[in-house]
Structures are given as structure tokens and as C-alpha cells.
Structure 1
Amino acid sequence: MFFIGLRLGYLHLLTPEAVQAAFEKIGPEPLDPHFTLAAFQQRMQQRRGILKTVLTNQEVLAGIGNRYSDEMLWHAQLRPDQKAGHLDNQQLARLYESIRFILQKGIEQGGYMEHPLHVGDGKTGRYQMYVHGRENEPCPRCSSPIRKEEISSHQTYFCPRCQY
């Protein structure tokens, strides 16, 4: 497996058994057709932490990082600092749909990488963030300034007006 961190990549050579053990700790893939709204609601209602932390916890859901979690929460109109277990079914349904929408959009637009993977790569990095990295810029939905706060050691961007 190869992982690229914020600055450096590293390589681990694992036995098939070690790979299996590592993947057993990872939560479900949000775009898997078998991952239903009911399964998502059940997972989230069991969580006590705040939304930002829960969404970026790879043991809860696979593949959601800091940037996309900001986008998902903005799209679902949910504050990143509210408790995951306190969301009602309507809020959870909005979040479920937003997770799937933002991930699919990210895939279709080649993610947010700043540099192409190779010369002539016209597919990588076309995803444009709604809120992440846009402190003090107008919210695309309500035009209020986007706020940046540190939540659970993550720089978090959100709209204080339309995320409630």
C-alpha cells in the first residue's frame, strides 16, 4: 500500500494477512451501493463525537478527509461542531446524500489536487471547493463570509449563517 501524507509519502510492504487486518479496521465505502441510508443512520447515531471528527475518522467511513468533510457539511447545511449522535433523521439523510454527491463530484472532476499527475493531464484537479480554503470569501449559497476555525486539530471552513 502507498500513502501520500500532507508532505511525504511512505511505503509499507505487507503480507496478505496484514493487508486484510488493516482493511478490517476501515469503515464502509460511502459510494458502495450496499451502503444504505439506514446503515449510515445507524452508524452515525452510535457516535458521540462532533461531526467533523466523525466524518474524518476512517474507522467510521472510508476515504473522507479534511477538505471533503468541509464540503459535505456545507452542502448538507450542518455545522461541523455539532454532535453526530444528536442529528435527526432528516439531517442524517441530507448528510448521507451530500457525502455521496460531493464524493461523486470529486471523482468526476478529478479531485482537488493542485498539480496534474502527468504532463497533459487535463482531468486531475478540476474540483473547485465551495468553502474549504475560502476564509472570508462569500458563501456560494448565502454570500456571508466563510469562517475558518480549528476543530479537532483540523482547519475547518464553514458558513456560520447557512450551516446550522
Structure 2
Amino acid sequence: MKKTLIYSAALAITTLLLSSNYASARNNNGSVTHIDGNVQFPLTRWQIVRHTFRIHVPKNSKALTELIINIPDNITLSNDIKNIDVVDEKEHKINTNVSINGRTILLAFPEAVAPNTKFYIELKNVKRPTISRNSIYHLSVKIVGSDAEITIGVAQFHTY
């Protein structure tokens, strides 16, 4: 019995460490905003989870005015904007105007997010099927002085 518990604990810790989906951190001297990582909590087959993205605005990039998140077809989000939090690395809330239109979340920043900033976007109460394909979000931004939408990457969440 003890052996089974030890193996189960070791497997759980290994799964937690290896499957957090965090991307490798990039150099802070870059000029392109990017997704620095993403994680799902809990890392189980639960149907309701939290998806978190870490966004990095390098010091040589332009400030962000908007962030657009395209929601995958295989998940459901509440239209309640209280389920979306945007915080900096010190967990201070970032002033954000949140709107949800169909399968798109628009985060507008009244005060542009300055270069050399890392921040988190937490989507709470994400409903996903317990057995399905992975969930892939597409993210893009708008920067100061431009109305063009710039793709910054994708964030993939595995279905366990």
C-alpha cells in the first residue's frame, strides 16, 4: 500500500512539473510582445478549470492598447466579465475594459501597458469537455500608434 502511495505521489508531482505548458522565457531585449507561458488549473479531467496566460511586453517593443483572445470552439466561457482578471507580476490589477463578443474577448487598456512588463490573464470557470481535443487560443494585440492587429501566438491547453 505504501509503495502505491509513493508511486502515485511521484507520478502526480511529475505530471504537475512536466505538463504546466509554460513556454521557455525569451530575452527581455526583444521587440515583439509574446505569450510567455500558459497553464491550466487544476491539471485534471475536471470540466470547469482556470486558464491563465502570461504575456510579456519586452523593453524594446511598443506599449499595448488592446489584447484580443479568440476562444476555441470546444470550450465555453461565461459572459460574466468578472470571470476575467488581468494582473501584473505583483498581482496588482491592471486597469482593463473587458468585452466579450461571440468567441472573442477584447481587453482594452485605458492606460497602455508599458514595455518591460509581464502580466497575467486569468479566465475563470472555463467549461470544457472531459474528453476532447486540446483547446487552442489565438492571441493578437494592438500597439500604440497603430490600428493593425498583430498576432502574438497561440496558447494550447491539453485535455487530460
Fold match by TM threshold 0.5:
no
Give the number of the structure whose residues are more often helix, by fraction.
1
Instruction: Answer 1 or 2: higher relative contact order, Cα 8 Å, separation at least 6.
Output: 2
TM range (shorter): under 0.3
